[in-house]
């Protein structure tokens, strides 16, 4: 079903981290253009189990390439699907309510089998994944549960993914090396273009809702209404307004049930680093166009070329 090989590119070694290393390229035997960069640990312990996972019609999935508004969308989707249950959302960690199915395959430092945890969730299960379409469970395409997909422009995504690697995964390399690897489709979960395009091409299927991070930033109320309709929920405008306050950037960033502060502290201390919330938060800036202040001319050019590869299939928003 899959070919698994080690990519022959020196840049891959440069972007390894204490948490994420031993990267392999997992590709489809049927279509070698479909591939994904993942740790060997995932290939050995999670790949086949996720592919053969039992899916239920009442599952709700949020799928994104990393750093495209995943956590934000999870909280929005969970709240809409649970009748605006603020009490639980403020008392129970998002990862408990909405687990990340392949997380345990990314590093041996995660002490939980996240596949088993997700599989055994009480229904309806709310499930997060960053996996590309071809690595997701086969039954998603026969059972057809609801899937919310979120895309973001690659420049902001790459910058945010770089900061995530540096501050959470312990990446010690340069931004230039990371952007080069991103442009070569050699960072974790790459390639982004294929990830987005595969879902863009099925966006009109009844069980798929395709959103853009930029639309959520520009008009959150409008996007909330799209998710409500998709999930067959009906709330008043006052309830929608209250939910938008709950989902505002400052609220999400300071919500300890959502901002992953505990995960950051655990991973940093496990890898011998001092945790300081003033230095890094998982919900970092959440801006549209923040890349303009961070990318060099050379790094911007690399990502311009990357975007050109996809421009005839999807028009990213900026």
Tell me, yes or no, if 164 is annotated catalytic: no
Which member of 21, 41, 82, 130 is catalytic? 130
Helices and strands in the chain: count of H runs, count of E runs = 17, 7
Supply φ then ψ for residue 37, to 5 degrees. Answer: -90, 120
Closest CA to 113 of 184, 42, 166: 42
Cβ neighbors of 79 (< 8 A, separation 6 or more) are 85, 86, 89, 243, 246, 247
> Where are the strands (E) in the chain, listed by range?
2-5, 23-28, 35-39, 60-64, 126-129, 146-151, 208-212
Packing angle of the helix pair 154-164, 192-200 (nearest 10 deg): 130
Q: Which residues carry out catalysis?
A: 130
């Amino acid at each position: 079903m899959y070919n698994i090989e080690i990519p022959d590119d020196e840049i891959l070694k440069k972007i390894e981290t204490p948490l994420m290393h031993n990267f392999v390229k997992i590709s489809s035997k049927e279509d070698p253009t479909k591939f994904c960069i993942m740790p060997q640990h995932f290939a050995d312990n999670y790949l086949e189990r996720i592919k053969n996972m039992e899916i239920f019609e009442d599952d709700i999935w949020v799928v994104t390439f990393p750093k495209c508004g995943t956590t934000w969308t999870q909280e929005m989707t969970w709240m809409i699907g649970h009748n605006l249950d603020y009490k639980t959302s403020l008392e129970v960690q998002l990862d408990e309510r909405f687990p990340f199915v392949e997380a345990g395959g990314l590093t041996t430092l995660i002490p939980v089998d996240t596949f088993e945890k997700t599989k055994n969730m009480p229904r309806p299960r709310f499930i997060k994944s960053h996996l590309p379409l071809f690595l997701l469970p086969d039954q998603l395409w026969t059972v057809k549960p609801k899937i919310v997909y979120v895309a973001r422009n690659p420049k902001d995504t790459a910058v945010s993914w770089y900061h995530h690697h540096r501050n959470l995964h312990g990446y010690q390399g340069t931004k230039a090396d990371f952007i080069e690897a991103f442009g070569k489709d050699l960072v974790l979960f790459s390639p982004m273009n294929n990830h987005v395009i595969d879902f863009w091409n099925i966006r009109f299927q009844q069980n798929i809702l395709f959103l853009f991070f930029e639309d959520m930033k520009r008009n959150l109320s409008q996007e909330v209404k799209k998710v409500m309709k998709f999930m067959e929920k009906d709330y008043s405008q006052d309830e929608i307004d209250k939910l938008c306050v709950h989902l505002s950037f400052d609220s999400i960033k300071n919500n300890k049930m959502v901002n992953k502060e505990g995960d950051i502290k655990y991973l940093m201390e496990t890898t011998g680093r001092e945790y300081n919330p003033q230095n890094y938060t998982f919900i970092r800036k959440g801006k549209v166009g923040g890349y303009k202040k961070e990318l060099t001319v050379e790094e911007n050019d690399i990502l311009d070329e990357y975007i050109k590869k996809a421009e005839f299939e999807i028009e990213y928003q900026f």
